[in-house]
Structure 1
Amino acid sequence: MIAIGKIDVIEMAVIPVILGDGIPLFPQGTGELKLWLAKCEIKAKGALHLVYERMD
């Protein structure tokens, strides 16, 4: 969806726990997408709710 320009908003949660190995957020070879941070909320126990919007 990123590669064909169908993504306008990406929301994610960052939780302060180190897990080691894991699944990448985006697949290898995903093209560049310029984003700006539209919203950042601090949740319980230091978790973050981030909202990024596409710049172009």
Structure 2
Amino acid sequence: MKEVVQFLLENPDLVEKVKNGTVTLIGVSKSEAEAIISVLHNKESLSGSSHYWR
């Protein structure tokens, strides 16, 4: 799982493709994939607004 998350962090364009269902994560269940996408999406949202808290 850690390797999958690391790979997606290094290839952010794939996150949207996984989210849209055009790419699947082999060896990862649908619920696990949804959780990964949710966390990565929230990470992007937080990083965009982090300047507020500086």
For the criterion TM > 0.5, the same-fold answer is no
Output the TM-score relative to the length of structure 1: 0.26
